[in-house]
Chain A
Amino acid sequence: MINVILIVDDSPVSRKMLKSCIPKDQGYLFHEAGDGLAGLEMYKKTQPDVTFMDLTMPVMDGATALGEIKKYDRHALVIVVTADVQVKSIEKVVELGAFLVVKKPPSKENIQDALSKAEEKLR
């Protein structure tokens, strides 16, 4: 069951867009981070059930953060939300262990679909 969600994105607007696509009536607890390194630290601190991860970020990019998170917790469910929809970028994050890749801008439909799949995986 999903209780805690971590959103890692350097853009506050992007975090707001993503959060608005997640149903408000589920009582999720949200944590946010503005770069990959902060996201990694936040992951260790909050142990989220699902992490939404941007790729192009300062300090530590999302692909590196994803790899580090998977090293720390191989069961981590990380959903990459990115504008970088090049096939090679997607292949790379899938190889690193991304659970799903969602194209920006997010929509209610694709975020809720991703959460349903994560929920199923956690059962």
Chain B
Amino acid sequence: MDNISQISEEERDILQEIMNIAFGKAAADLAEIINIFVVLSIPDIKIVMAEDLPGYIKEEFSEFGNISIVEQNFWGEFKGSALLIFPADSGKELISLLGDNDEPSYEPQSSDILESETLMEVGNILIGACVGKVAELLKDVVTYSPPRVIIEDHPSVSMPKTLFDPSNAAIILKTVFCFNERNVNGFLFLITSNNSVSWLKKALVDFMEQYE
């Protein structure tokens, strides 16, 4: 049974607020480490069929040429995939934030590695803080797969079948953010599988109980 379609308007609002708090924490963590100001947006929540996820992501980024994706899966009661997506070349912009500008320039090959490592580092901080905060607020503990960087010519994402049954729906929590000083926009998607929904609905009720 597809539980996601039973998510009420109020449950969506609670989830949106939790995402807002979680991303605020993630931005603050990142700002502390690399001294950058992150402009936050209002999170958006969408429900799509898991089989349509790659198409959804592709459509969202159709205006960009290449994109860089940092992907990390997480498991707890709250389980799914986190995707941090940047337009291509954002990694190079971010390198200067994380690295020492006085360093000698890198050879082309090591520059690619450096870009990949930078994206992985930024992704690790943002995804870890964001997913961790959602889990903390909902009294869950999650474990993570190592982050993976994918640089795509044509935006497409294959969702792990172990997490997403293509015949089920998935919840997409999307936040857009801007690294102000560098004019870099990024997109963070948390995609939770249908398997988490029963737990999620109960956890949202429990979370709000303290505010009754």
A interface residues (Cβ-Cβ under 8 A, vs B): 10-14, 16-17, 20-21, 56-58, 82-89, 104-105
Contacts and interface: CB of A to CB of B under 8 A. Distances in A.
Contact of B24 (A11, A13, A83, A88): A83
A14 B17 contact: yes
Given A11-B20, A13-B16, A105-B17, 18 more contacts: A11-B16, A13-B13, A13-B14, A20-B212, A21-B211, A56-B41, A56-B42, A57-B42, A82-B24, A83-B21, A83-B25, A83-B40, A84-B24, A85-B28, A104-B21, A104-B24, A105-B21, A105-B137
Interface of B: 10, 13-14, 16-17, 20-25, 27-28, 31-32, 37-38, 40-42, 137, 208, 211-212
10 contacts: A11-B16, A11-B20, A56-B42, A83-B21, A83-B23, A83-B25, A84-B28, A86-B31, A89-B37, A105-B137
Contact of B28 (A10, A56, A86, A105): A86
B27 A86 contact: yes
Binding site secondary structure of chain B: helix
Nearest to B19: A83
Contacts of A104: 17, 20-21, 24
Most chain A beta-carbon neighbours within 10 Å: one of B22, B25, B32, B211: B211
Contacts of B14: 13
A58 B38 CA distance: 17
B42 A86 contact: no
B20 A87 contact: no
Nearest to A20: B211
Contacts of A85: 24-25, 28
Contacts of B38: 86
8 closest A-B pairs (Cβ-Cβ)? A83-B24, A20-B211, A13-B13, A83-B21, A86-B31, A17-B211, A85-B28, A88-B37
